[in-house]
A and B are shown apart, each in its own frame.
Chain A
Amino acid sequence: MSKKFTKDHEWVQVDGDVATVGVTDFAQSQLGDVVFVELPEAGRVLEQGKEAAVVESVKAASDVYAPVSGTVVEANQALVDDPSMVNSAAETDGWFFKIQLKDASELDGLMDESAYKAFVEESH
């Protein structure tokens, strides 16, 4: 399945009933150099649109919201060890966490790649 995107600049890639979540390349370019991430621990239950993680750049702290509801199955420890991966590989190795989907229909409300691209161009 192809990536879906939120208006808060998270991406989500679904494989079966597990979704991988990160922030978009556009988001990292706006954040600037990332120096710290705080990721949700496995087992934590997240609600769509609510705070899930924190990303801090040299400039400021920002919240990362859960694009979908569910239970965290894994956080990206490599990202905790090297937060600059958010800048160098936002939409690949710089993923934040994996989540077991609670309600796959929530994905229908997210944007596809072309819609997200248009959203970014329109709002910035």
Chain B
Amino acid sequence: MTEAATALKTTPLHALHVELGARMVPFAGYDMPVQYPLGILKEHQHTREKAGLFDVSHMGQVRLTGDDPAAALETLVPGDIKGLVQGRMRYTLFLNEQGGILDDLMVTNAGDHLFLVVNAACKEQDVAHLRKKLAGKAEVELLDDLALMALQGPMAAEVMARFVPEAATMKFMSYLSATFKGVPVILTRSGYTGEDGYEISCDKADAEMIARALLGESEVETIGLGARDSLRLEAGLCLYGHDIDTTTTPVEGALEWTLPKRRRAEGGFPGYDIIHRQLTEGAPRRRVGIQPEGRQPAREHTEIQDANGTRVGEITSGGFGPTAGAPVAMGYVDIANSAVGTPLTLIVRGKPLPARVAATPFVPQRYYRG
């Protein structure tokens, strides 16, 4: 084993991944399963048809406490955090002064604190950012004694209800403190596959017991990061560091839905001037779905040209969508070429490949709406 490989961190489920025959790869400083013997294609399809279990313990879980942590957090994100009622959660963005995106995250109102889930690669800097900017206003705790799993797919609710009956009636984007086979868990009805499902936060020491219990159900297969990526891409969801980063604003990233009316009017978050201007006047470029013709996938960094052969952008995520049965991609194009249906040319391995701007998601999202 190389020196770099030995320096990788592991999750509480590492031994289980190895036991299950996972192919392990470095990801955000962790030794993570990219696929299991089933393979990415079948793991993807299984999640869409039944239920898949994902280890996402590498992600950062953060507790924010204080007199008014919602007001404090609103100084760093454009989402409506003050209006988040207890037990509900929402997706938002850490922004920089230029309106660029530092990270995307989930925020839950857990009653006496806010519970944040942030990206693995960003968690150290997110915590440092929170501590620096919210000093004196909120206490920030990185909960690195916790594990995080996701159970996703149309049968996730049925499976989860066998262990946590009250999970069945949880609303989409809600939070529940519960007991799973005698141990405490935090469930949220959320995920990043476009399917119904849950994220399960638990003590590290209980993670393997919970994972084995869920995998013991006939509908559940263990799923790696490879399928996680194709599932979220088909669902039209952004991958931080690829589809959004510090050089893209929420408007350019087609994430205006994360900017509620009150925050648009009041501001009070980093980059407000730029974002307000872009909301009014438009942004020069926009993230769009892209449907290549034929079967050849167009990968990240593929050049995008308009009908005249002028470079108008670049693909930021691309691959083959097993459920779509076709290649799928997303990327940035100049605003003149961003309407759905606009013909584009992708330069794949030096050859022109015809494509069109497509509506996302590429497959219908099937979140639980009660």
Contacts and interface: CB of A to CB of B under 8 A. Distances in A.
Interface of A: 32-33, 35-36, 38, 54, 56-61, 83
Query: Which of A54, A58, A61, A83 has most chain B Cβ within 10 Å?
Result: A58
B342 interface: no
Interface string B269-305: 0000000000000000000000000011101000000
28 contacts: A32-B35, A32-B39, A32-B40, A32-B41, A33-B39, A33-B40, A33-B41, A35-B41, A35-B295, A35-B297, A36-B296, A36-B297, A36-B320, A38-B296, A54-B349, A56-B297, A57-B40, A58-B40, A58-B41, A58-B44, A58-B226, A58-B319, A59-B34, A59-B40, A59-B226, A60-B299, A61-B299, A61-B349
Nearest to B349: A54
Nearest to B326: A35
B60 interface: no
With a 10 A CB-CB cut-off, give which of B42, B44, B349 has the most chain A CB atoms: B349
A59 B322 CA distance: 12
A58 B44 CA distance: 11
Nearest to B319: A58
B299 A58 contact: no
A57 B44 CA distance: 14
A54 B41 CA distance: 19
Most interface-central of A32, A33, A54 (chain B CB within 10 A): A33
Contacts of B297: 35-36, 56, 61
Interface string B32-46: 001100011110100
Q: Is the interface of B mostly helix, strand, loop or mixed?
A: mixed
A35 B320 contact: yes
A33 B41 CA distance: 6
Interface residues of B, number: 18
A54 B353 CA distance: 15
A61 B224 CA distance: 19
A51 to B, nearest CB: 9
Nearest to A80: B295
B109 to A, nearest CB: 38
A83 B322 CA distance: 13
A33 B286 CA distance: 32
Contacts of B320: 35-36, 56, 58
A36, A56, A61, A83, most chain B CB atoms within 10 A? A56
Nearest to B295: A36
B226 A32 contact: yes
Contacts of B39: 32-33
Contacts of A58: 40-41, 44, 226, 230, 319-320, 322
A33 B297 CA distance: 13
B322 A56 contact: no
Contacts of B299: 60-61
Nearest to A33: B41
Interface string B317-329: 0011010000100
Nearest to A60: B299
B107 to A, nearest CB: 32
A74 B299 CA distance: 29
The 5 closest A-B pairs by CB, nearest first: A33-B41, A35-B320, A58-B40, A36-B295, A36-B296
Contacts of A83: 295
A56 B295 CA distance: 10
- Of B35, B296, B299, chain A has the most CB atoms within 10 Å of the CB of B296
B94 to A, nearest CB: 30
A32 B44 CA distance: 13
